[in-house]
Chain A
Amino acid sequence: MPSSLILSRLLGLALCCTPLHALAGTAPTDAAERLAACSACHGEHGEGVSGAEYYPHLAGKPAGYLLEQLQNFRDGRRVNAQMTWLVGSMDDAYMADIAAYYASMPPRTRPADTGAETLTDTMRDTALRLVEQGDPARNVPPCTACHGKALTGLEPAIPALVGLPADYIIAQLGNWRSGVRHAKAPDCMADVASDLSPGDIRAIAVWLSRQVAADGHRPAPAGSFLPPRACGAMPHGEAAP
């Protein structure tokens, strides 16, 4: 390990004060080569792979979010056999380095999949209502309240929703509903997903997959707005301005 890397890790450990996201990673020098296993599905720079449209892009997502997903796969809170196979013997420090690498890449700007099903007017209305206003009667917050007005996420741990394939979003919300996917408690998205109907999820997913993030849109800076709920990865203390 280069001494600068050791130093930066020691500094990272010394400066950290909250248990969450205490690990500030350093992107490996030849990350694209080291992470050839990741590139196969997520693209060399995490931009996604044409023809493998189910897999989410990683580029530009908050490092805290990426780190937590890697930990979730290793520790069984998220289930994807291929991911667990690859990260089962990986420590938090390397996970943080990998997260730092993909977080530093330019966010994907092309629509995720053009092959998704047609967006009917009804679906678009449902999606727009839920994304922008939510459904207070069912206790569903609007997507924008946590993922940002532009749906590009919020540092340090809320991911962008734009640029994701419809099938991927449907699968994740379905996994939350059926208890297969977990986040650290309180698991807000498990509550939100269980309050949505399968029809809502489909409408939101297809609509989202057609949105293009304007060029260079990164997650909103930490503390730039306050999500309505405290979540495991994003307690209010971290999000508050």
Chain B
Amino acid sequence: MKNRRLAIILIAALPLLLLALTIGATLLLFQGGLAPYRLPGEAATPIDTDSELLARGRYVAAIGNCAGCHTARGGTPLAGGRPFVTPWGTIYSSNLTPDPEAGLGNWPLPRFQHAMRHGVAPDGVLYPAFPYANFALLDDADIRALFAWLRSVPPSDHIPPPNRLEAPAGWRWTQVVWRMLHYRPQNPDFGADMPAEWRRGRYLVDGLGHCGMCHGRRGAMGSLPASGYLAGGRIPDSGWYAPPLDGQQLARYEVDELAGYLRTGMSAHGSAYGPMGEVIYQSLQYLTMEDARAMATFLKSVPPRTRPRPPREAVAQPPAAADAAGLYEKHCSGCHGIDGEGGKDAAWPPLTHAVAITAPDPVNTVRMILYGGMAPTTPGNPQPYSMPPFVEALDADEVAAIANYVRGRFGGQPPLITAETVRTLHGITAH
């Protein structure tokens, strides 16, 4: 009797089981099948050291900004340890120097190539803070050159702190589930019939430069769904908003202007600050003119995604006590101009069309007013101008009034910012 009941239950459950298996298999297929988990052989490969290859590897490392993430503040370059604070805990970047114990000294090239393209190494599945979705587009020659160059830097025995992640994110195998749900490899052949300059631009933007890590709109569990491709959003762990990158957002830039901005951090429309300033300082200033133009050409060809609508119900009334126009005239107009036109050939940035002013997310406006800014130093802008911090000169009501005023007058944005918004944005995290 008992056996018979069990058999009935099993037969009844069989469709469910099959359904679950089918869904699982499909999701596994969507994230790239089993190939990512098939590690390559560990045969040692000779590492080339010719100077042309090393120079190429050095360029790949610079534009991929390896050192930006894999160097702690003031630490040995590429020795890892920079913290990345996520909602699930803190991840520390790894040591990429050739030290055999602490770094990649014992890694054969195929292992490196596999980790770059699939985010899977013998230690387990890497967290998607490492942009393997982008690096999957890199060609063999660039990976080989990068690997050779990484092997040529001075070794450091620095062992980064262990990750501090909550369960279940702390269990590496859960990354397989995350990938099944949220990771969809990019199509390497996308735009194969486009001109060479466009394809080079796509390679740099979607591949090596991994622009989408900041400029993509994030979905559930830190994912980067195709629907949010370069659509802009709040950058994880930085307190900054990154604008969309597409033909509409970048319409005011000529290709050469945008290329110049990527290399110098300044343009007729304003300067880079915050995380973009950091990326230009550490990485993009080294772009060749051809590559900068290629990136600009590609970016201006990206079709705009739908923009999120500003929340209607949250519209706050600017505090009546603060005379916003008077505050603007007193504190801002000296550099940004009475009509927001800027000055000094845009070294004092115009506010009309500025990202901070027109963005749906007001965070950049508030943080610039609170803590000021300094454009990155580059050969094209060796002595940048700066914006003073107002955190001590103005109270939260006044900052909110100015922020609403400039965003309304020059960007047509609703007055969303309250003194409470300003207070929640107080504080600087400097990793």
B349 at the interface (CB under 8 A from A): no
Interface pair B393/A88, CB less than 8 Å apart: no
A33 at the interface (CB under 8 A from B): yes
A87-123 CB mask vs B (1 if < 8 Å, else 0) is 1111101100100000000000000000000000000
Give the docked Cα–Cα distance between A206 and B395 (Å).
30
In the complex, what residue of chain B is closest to A88 when comparing beta carbons? B278
A36 at the interface (CB under 8 A from B): yes
A75 at the interface (CB under 8 A from B): yes
A129 at the interface (CB under 8 A from B): no
In the complex, what residue of chain A is closest to B344 when comparing beta carbons? A33
Interface pair B428/A1, CB less than 8 Å apart: no
In the complex, what residue of chain B is closest to A86 when comparing beta carbons? B374
Give the A-B pair count, Cβ closer than 8 A. 90
Interface pair B281/A82, CB less than 8 Å apart: no
Interface pair B74/A76, CB less than 8 Å apart: yes
Residues of the A chain whose Cβ atoms lie less than 8 Å from the Cβ of B189: none
Give the docked Cα–Cα distance between A77 and B376 (Å).
20
Residues of the B chain whose Cβ atoms lie less than 8 Å from the Cβ of A93: 377, 382
B25-45 CB mask vs A (1 if < 8 Å, else 0) is 000000000000000000000
Give the docked Cα–Cα distance between A52 and B392 (Å).
9
Chain A residues touching B, majority SS: helix
A134 at the interface (CB under 8 A from B): no
Q: Report which residue of A74, A77, A87, A91 has the largest number of chain B beta carbons within 10 angstroms of its beta carbon.
A: A91
Take A40-B393, A52-B392, A81-B428 as given contacts and tell me if A86 and B385 are in contact as well, using a CB distance cutoff of 8 Å: no
**For residues 33 through 51 of chain A, which have their beta carbon under 8 Å from a beta carbon of chain B?**
33-41
B365-380 CB mask vs A (1 if < 8 Å, else 0) is 0000001111111000
Q: Within the complex, which residue of A37, A41, A52, A77 is in contact with B374, where a contact is CB–CB below 8 Å?
A: A37
Interface pair A85/B430, CB less than 8 Å apart: yes
Take A34-B384, A90-B377, A93-B377 as given contacts and tell me if A85 and B371 are in contact as well, using a CB distance cutoff of 8 Å: yes
Interface pair A89/B74, CB less than 8 Å apart: no
A28 at the interface (CB under 8 A from B): yes
Interface pair B388/A40, CB less than 8 Å apart: yes
A68-81 CB mask vs B (1 if < 8 Å, else 0) is 00000011110001
A172 at the interface (CB under 8 A from B): no
Residues of the A chain whose Cβ atoms lie less than 8 Å from the Cβ of B376: 89-90
B389 at the interface (CB under 8 A from A): yes
Q: Within the complex, which residue of B74, B374, B384, B387 is in contact with A75, where a contact is CB–CB below 8 Å?
A: B74
A84 at the interface (CB under 8 A from B): yes
Residues of the B chain whose Cβ atoms lie less than 8 Å from the Cβ of A91: 281, 377
B280-302 CB mask vs A (1 if < 8 Å, else 0) is 11100000000000000000000
Which residues of B are in contact with A by a Cβ distance under 8 Å?
72-75, 277-278, 280-282, 335, 344, 371-377, 382-393, 427-430
Q: Can you name 22 A-B residue pairings with CB atoms under 8 Å?
A: A34-B383, A34-B386, A36-B335, A37-B387, A37-B389, A39-B388, A40-B390, A40-B392, A41-B392, A75-B74, A81-B428, A82-B371, A82-B428, A84-B428, A85-B372, A88-B277, A88-B281, A89-B281, A89-B282, A91-B377, A93-B377, A94-B383
Which residues of A are in contact with B by a Cβ distance under 8 Å?
1, 28, 33-41, 52, 74-77, 81-82, 84-91, 93-94, 97
Leading 8 A-B pairs by shortest Cβ distance: A75-B74, A37-B386, A89-B281, A76-B74, A81-B428, A89-B376, A40-B388, A76-B73
Can you add 11 more A-B contacts, CB < 8 Å, to A76-B74, A81-B428, A93-B377?
Answer: A1-B382, A34-B384, A34-B385, A37-B373, A81-B429, A85-B428, A88-B430, A89-B374, A90-B281, A91-B281, A94-B384
